[in-house]
Chains A and B, each alone.
Chain A
Amino acid sequence: MILAGLIVLLMGCGMLAWLAGRWNDMLPRVISLVGISVQLIIVVWIWLTHQQGPASGLWIISYTHSWIPAFGIQIKLAVDGLSLLMIALTAFLGLLSVLTSWKEINNRVGFFHFNLLFVLAGITGVFLSLDLFLFYFSWEVMLIPMYFLISIWGNENRTYASYKFFLFTQGSGLLMFLSILGLYLIHGRNTGVFTFDYDQLLGTIMQPQTAFLLMLGFVIAFIVKLSTVPFHSWLPDAHTQAPTAGSVILAGLLLKTGAYGLIRFVLPLFPQASHQFAPVAMVLGVVSILYGAKLAFAQTDLKRLVAYISVSHMGFILLGIYAFNEMAMQGVVMQMVAHGISTGALFIIAGTLHERIQTRDIGQMGGLWAKIPKMGVMGLVFVMASLGLPGLGNFVAEFLILTGSFMASQTLTIIATLGLVAATIYALRIMQKVFYGTEQKQWKIADFSIREMGIMIALVVVLLWLGLFPSAVLTVSRPSVLKEIESVDERKAQTGETYFNRRAIVDRKITMTDISLRGHYLNINTKKAN
């Protein structure tokens, strides 16, 4: 019940904000702030008071209510470790995006917050749905308001960017919908029960070719969202043109829905087909890492640069997911959270700069450190985070992913590691061009205000916490990750292919216990301190 409440709460506050916007500009902001804060409090309360059963894959909380019984459609929401982390991230970044747009958005404030809250409601729905119809429903619900956010409050080229965003995501989403329907019908024919229920659809028996085609429908939708090369071209435009809050939500949350979908739906529903697809996916991941990094280095538009950093970082996620072992998968979860925080922060900085000097061209910046030291320090922290400095969350994530994927494919991992080198180059270039070097123009520019500093400090604290105590997150996600890996492994054993069998054995050997994992990180951290 409380899970449905989360979605209803956001939607209700959205409507209220729109109505309130007719009388007053301040009211919608306050309503959104309160609404999202309540959500954050509820999520934290769930986190602190509920524990997932020991690796048995039981849901922490679930809620089922019939919706359209004629088609076997129900409102089935459930939360496990993975989705708990995701909705926590949603609430946290949602709160920050309301705060960042406090001064930035001054026209149609009510409608802006309506859209913002509906995007968040859609994202929450995606992370909680366990009914495939409801999942697709939420998947689409988050699109329209996002489209409005870009096309109304965006920058100069917003119309083009919003079209591109919408057509890419909608087109790929409809392919997924076809796949969902295909799965539904096949399951219905096999068992006589027509249902979209996730738990019942697991283990549907079908021809390998059919399974592969259906899986492709899902995968295309998810990797378009994940902005994997060659489907990445919507992302730089959308990110660049969106208002700051829009960029934060796009980078921090919308991209993660793709990764979440792969982990939650593609792997368990199509384990065998996923194995067939794994080599391709891993290559795509590596290509994204390197290509994204290369393009990030070539950009002169600050927001575009950060957008390409996202492409590169999402490549790690794809690589990790298709490595099919616990370590890589844990890294992926970590990367999802850490990337949300660090890239969100970079977008906030870019947005703040844009708001103050009306340009995103890094050629026109330079030497800003002296004028805005606070922003400089914060920029440094998050730039270091994106290049993977130990002690911050991204390092843990990338380390785990690379270690995990090394066991799956050594060659690809070695190539992927080059991405870290490239990351250093593009990340340091941001610092050089924006904050150091000679001043290009005499900007009159104000430093972070208290509100903005508060946002930044919250982000830094979370990022440090992730980097220094990763086990807090990893223990939460572990049962779900183990469950997903198991579901893939079971099938792997059945296929009897030697390659996969060999890897399964390797996987089992390296499966770590929670305690050793924690120790492992303590070691790393102490070494660093020394």
Chain B
Amino acid sequence: MSTADTMSLLPMLILAGGILLTLILIALTRRHLLAFITTALTILAAITTGLLHLNQQPHIIGDILIVDRFGLYYQIILLSATFVISIFSYISLERLFPDKRKEEYYILLMLATLGSSMMVISTHFISFFVSLETLTISLYTLISYYREREKAIEAGLKYLVLAAMSSAFLLFGMALIYAVSGEMSFHGLLAFATNSRGSANVMLVAGAGLMIVGIGFKLALAPFHMWAPDVYEGASSPVSALIATVSKGGVVALLLRFFTMTDLYRYQNVMLAFMVISALSMLAGNLLALQQKNVKRLLAYSSIAHLGYLLVAFISGKGMGVQAATFYITIYSLTILGAFGVVTIISKTDHEAGEIAHYKGLFWRRPVLAALFTLFLLSLAGIPLTAGFIGKYFLLAAGLGKGQWLLAFVLVVSSVIGLFYYLRLIVTMMSQEKDHQPAVPPENLSKGGMITLAILGILIVGLGLSPGWLIDLVRSLP
């Protein structure tokens, strides 16, 4: 590796170094706070270097990786999300967990982020798959980390089986594509796909189809969404937030890069499959969420729907479609981090505040927290004054720009359905029955957690009122 390669990968190297450092520190002394601070500082250092690199020329490392603005932007988003998650994790671990094995959690957290951040700069099947597995294997462990709880073990196993299966699909798809083309890098595939015809074409589409199944699993798109609610419910809230932001964000970035670089947009069948998946996800996610009585399951179903929304932009192709998808995943990450943060903060020592009933009358007991939660939910619902509205506007504009009227219509209808359960949650928080208070939150809500949530809230309102700078930034990515 040349010096230039090393320099361009510096954020990732810092992250990897941080993982090793934490490992050594844990071996020397088991101190939760120390592990947390090391993690936080590592991530902040990685973000800073990422920001410094943002305006440099794209740097290509073999066929394997490309460090460009697009990749760096996603890395910064993923790292920032991890930073927020590490704060919530600290709160969650301190309060919920018996006094052992707190520290290794952070290593897994950073490993997952490393996998995801490498994925966004991958331009080759090998680098893609290796980073994806780094991410997934860390997630298996993180999901069942609270092994004293039954649901955590169940969720971890479920995720293990299904993710392994989806990896198999993904690999088989890659193998098919490799078999006909002899290429594994995205550049090479572009050259092959433009020249191929006949039977090779069929194999290529079949391979792409199998890869869609694999990616669909990772993004929890209908009809591959079955694992999401159980895993979200079983894992602790910060881990659920990690799945919703870091894991999905990385896969979305890779999907965008894969399709733009190989220009698979030309294949009508592949795009048709995505349209069906998108419409199904929007409808299934929102309709199934209506039935939920658990906030984390509800957020899981809503995330299925949100990824469906995002596909509307993705289908619209290069240019505005990619920008809209990038913008939306940024906004969505901010919002869902906030929502899971609220769940984390409000949880009591013995169990997490999953049931909707726990939120009854929250508005009158904890007005600030409830107002923030309302804000996050409204942003998820896409109501003006919040960033979610601008995001949804961007998606619709991208979709309609390519004439996707049907999908846009489905998006509109399903988001009206979606409103219903967000509103129900808000109404529950506002209900005034005094006798029903099963879960009065602990007397002292974590100060740090509240400050983090407040910053997220301010960002969401700020981006809802003046989103110009972020839009310009997203548009300046290639």
Q: Give A contacts to B, CB under 8 Å.
A: 67-71, 108, 133, 136-138, 140-141, 143-144, 147-148, 151-152, 159, 162-163, 166-167, 170-171, 174-175, 177-178, 181-182, 184-185
Please give, as numbers and ranges, the residues of chain A lying within 8 Å of B129 by CB-CB distance: none
Given contacts A140-B383, A174-B416, A185-B400, 5 further A-B contacts (CB under 8 A): A68-B390, A68-B467, A108-B364, A136-B384, A177-B393
Q: Number of residue pairs across A and B with beta carbons under 8 Å?
A: 69
11 contacts between A and B (CB under 8 A): A68-B467, A108-B364, A133-B393, A140-B384, A141-B384, A141-B385, A163-B423, A171-B416, A174-B416, A178-B409, A178-B412
- A159 and B427 within 8 A (CB): yes
- B472 and A70 within 8 A (CB): yes
- A181 and B396 within 8 A (CB): yes
Looking at the assembled complex, report how far the CB atom of A222 sits from the nearest CB atom of chain B, in whole angstroms.
17
Looking at the assembled complex, report how far the CB atom of B19 sits from the nearest CB atom of chain A, in whole angstroms.
38
- B468 and A152 within 8 A (CB): no
Interface residues of B in 372-399 (CB under 8 A from A): 378, 383-385, 389-390, 393, 396-397
Q: Of B384, B396, B430, B471, which is within 8 A of A152 by CB?
A: B430
Looking at the assembled complex, report how far the CB atom of B476 sits from the nearest CB atom of chain A, in whole angstroms.
10
Interface residues of B in 180-220 (CB under 8 A from A): none
Looking at the assembled complex, report how far the CB atom of A41 sits from the nearest CB atom of chain B, in whole angstroms.
27
- B408 and A178 within 8 A (CB): yes
- A151 and B397 within 8 A (CB): no
- A137 and B384 within 8 A (CB): yes
Q: Of A67, A166, A175, A181, which is within 8 A of B466 by CB?
A: A67
Q: Does B419 interact with chain A (Cβ within 8 Å)?
A: yes
Q: Which residue of B lies closest to A134 (CB)?
A: B384
- B468 and A70 within 8 A (CB): yes
Q: Does B365 interact with chain A (Cβ within 8 Å)?
A: no
Q: Which residue of A lies closest to B378 (CB)?
A: A144
Please give, as numbers and ranges, the residues of chain B lying within 8 Å of A159 by CB-CB distance: 427
Q: Does B8 interact with chain A (Cβ within 8 Å)?
A: no
Q: Most chain-A CB neighbours within 10 Å: which of B393, B412, B466, B467? A: B393
Please give, as numbers and ranges, the residues of chain B lying within 8 Å of A152 by CB-CB distance: 430, 432
- A70 and B471 within 8 A (CB): yes
Please give, as numbers and ranges, the residues of chain B lying within 8 Å of A175 by CB-CB distance: 412
- A151 and B396 within 8 A (CB): no
- B396 and A177 within 8 A (CB): yes
> What 7 A-B pairs come out closest when comparing CB atoms?
A140-B384, A174-B412, A171-B416, A137-B384, A70-B471, A68-B468, A181-B400
Q: Does B82 interact with chain A (Cβ within 8 Å)?
A: no
**How far apart sit A177 and B423, CA to CA, in the bound complex (Å)?**
21
- A70 and B475 within 8 A (CB): yes
Please give, as numbers and ranges, the residues of chain A lying within 8 Å of B466 by CB-CB distance: 67-68
Given A67-B468, A177-B396, A185-B400, CB of A167 within 8 Å of CB of B427: no
Please give, as numbers and ranges, the residues of chain B lying within 8 Å of A69 by CB-CB distance: 468
Q: Of B384, B400, B427, B475, which is within 8 A of A182 by CB?
A: B400
**How far apart sit A162 and B430, CA to CA, in the bound complex (Å)?**
13
Q: Most chain-B CB neighbours within 10 Å: which of A137, A141, A174? A: A174
**How far apart sit A137 and B432, CA to CA, in the bound complex (Å)?**
30
State how many residues of chain B have any CB contact under 8 Å with chain A: 30
- B471 and A71 within 8 A (CB): yes
Looking at the assembled complex, report how far the CB atom of B391 sits from the nearest CB atom of chain A, in whole angstroms.
13
Q: Does B415 interact with chain A (Cβ within 8 Å)?
A: yes
Please give, as numbers and ranges, the residues of chain B lying within 8 Å of A182 by CB-CB distance: 400
Interface residues of B in 424-478 (CB under 8 A from A): 427, 430, 432, 466-468, 471-472, 475
**How far apart sit A300 and B27, CA to CA, in the bound complex (Å)?**
78
- A166 and B384 within 8 A (CB): no
Q: Does B172 interact with chain A (Cβ within 8 Å)?
A: no
Q: Most chain-A CB neighbours within 10 Å: which of B396, B400, B408, B416? A: B416
Q: Of A138, A143, A178, which is within 8 A of B396 by CB?
A: A178
Looking at the assembled complex, report how far the CB atom of B181 sits from the nearest CB atom of chain A, in whole angstroms.
37
**How far apart sit A133 and B385, CA to CA, in the bound complex (Å)?**
13
Q: Does B178 interact with chain A (Cβ within 8 Å)?
A: no
Given A141-B385, A167-B420, CB of A71 within 8 Å of CB of B397: yes
- A166 and B423 within 8 A (CB): yes
**How far apart sit A177 and B416, CA to CA, in the bound complex (Å)?**
13
Please give, as numbers and ranges, the residues of chain A lying within 8 Å of B401 by CB-CB distance: 185
Please give, as numbers and ranges, the residues of chain B lying within 8 Å of A143 by CB-CB distance: 383
Looking at the assembled complex, report how far the CB atom of B199 sits from the nearest CB atom of chain A, in whole angstroms.
39
Looking at the assembled complex, report how far the CB atom of A345 sits from the nearest CB atom of chain B, in whole angstroms.
30
Q: Which residue of A lies closest to B464 (CB)?
A: A137
Given A147-B423, A151-B430, A166-B419, CB of A68 within 8 Å of CB of B471: yes
Please give, as numbers and ranges, the residues of chain B lying within 8 Å of A67 by CB-CB distance: 466, 468
Q: Which residue of A lies closest to B397 (CB)?
A: A181
Please give, as numbers and ranges, the residues of chain B lying within 8 Å of A181 by CB-CB distance: 393, 396-397, 400, 408
**How far apart sit A184 and B393, CA to CA, in the bound complex (Å)?**
12
**How far apart sit A185 and B420, CA to CA, in the bound complex (Å)?**
30
Q: Which residue of B lies closest to A21 (CB)?
A: B367
- B400 and A167 within 8 A (CB): no
Looking at the assembled complex, report how far the CB atom of B467 sits from the nearest CB atom of chain A, in whole angstroms.
6
Q: Which residue of B lies closest to A107 (CB)?
A: B432
**How far apart sit A69 and B384, CA to CA, in the bound complex (Å)?**
18
**How far apart sit A67 and B468, CA to CA, in the bound complex (Å)?**
7
Looking at the assembled complex, report how far the CB atom of B367 sits from the nearest CB atom of chain A, in whole angstroms.
8
Please give, as numbers and ranges, the residues of chain B lying within 8 Å of A174 by CB-CB distance: 412, 415-416
Given A67-B468, A68-B468, A181-B396, CB of A163 within 8 Å of CB of B384: no
Looking at the assembled complex, report how far the CB atom of B165 sits from the nearest CB atom of chain A, in whole angstroms.
37
**How far apart sit A137 and B416, CA to CA, in the bound complex (Å)?**
16
Please give, as numbers and ranges, the residues of chain A lying within 8 Å of B412 by CB-CB distance: 174-175, 177-178
Please give, as numbers and ranges, the residues of chain A lying within 8 Å of B467 by CB-CB distance: 68
**How far apart sit A166 and B409, CA to CA, in the bound complex (Å)?**
19
- B420 and A163 within 8 A (CB): yes
Please give, as numbers and ranges, the residues of chain B lying within 8 Å of A140 by CB-CB distance: 383-384, 389
Please give, as numbers and ranges, the residues of chain B lying within 8 Å of A133 by CB-CB distance: 393
**How far apart sit A149 and B397, CA to CA, in the bound complex (Å)?**
32
Please give, as numbers and ranges, the residues of chain B lying within 8 Å of A185 by CB-CB distance: 397, 400-401
Q: Of A68, A70, A144, A178, which is within 8 A of B383 by CB?
A: A144
Please give, as numbers and ranges, the residues of chain B lying within 8 Å of A141 by CB-CB distance: 384-385
Please give, as numbers and ranges, the residues of chain A lying within 8 Å of B413 by CB-CB distance: 171
**How far apart sit A70 and B420, CA to CA, in the bound complex (Å)?**
32
